[in-house]
Structure 1
Amino acid sequence: MKKNDRHPFRAIGLMSAITSQLVGCTLVGLFGGRWADRQLDSEPIFLIIGLLLGLAAGVFATLKTVRRFFEE
């Protein structure tokens, strides 16, 4: 990215996208694992699996967004 192409609104957009992806994916994994635990009566196992999968999906989506942002 050229120095002249840097705009504060683009940076704000990138940071809000990163935050929403990390938090959103983590919450979906957390609540999905919690729901699966309640359905199968296996308390913490699916909660932990869902949390880890949500974090991994959030990091993957964040890396993809940042890579696309800096390619432009």
Structure 2
Amino acid sequence: MGKKDKNPLNAMTLYATILSQLVGSILVGIFAGKWLDGYFHTEPLFLIIGLLLGLATGIWAMLHTVRHFF
């Protein structure tokens, strides 16, 4: 954000976007992992994999968004 973009709503939009991307991707990873665990009867394995993949995807999306804003 440059000097001409001092609107506080721009910062709030950036924070809300980052939060929704992180939380959303982590939740999708958790629920997909739980579903796969129920399907294959491997209790915590896919939950942990889904959590880690969701976290990595959320961080990648956050970095992509921040790079786009600046």
Matched length: 70
Return the alpha-carbon distance in structure 2 between the equivalents of residues 49 and 25 of structure 1: 13
Q: Which runs of 4+ in 1 moved over 6 A?
A: none
**Structure 2 partner of 1:14:** 14
Q: Distance in 2 between matches of 1:25 and 1:31?
A: 10
Coordinate RMSD, CA, aligned: 0.7
1:23-38 aligned at under 5 Å gives the runs 23-38=23-38
In the alignment, which residue of structure 2 is the partner of 1:58?
58
More helix per residue:
1
TM-score normalized with structure 1 length: 0.93
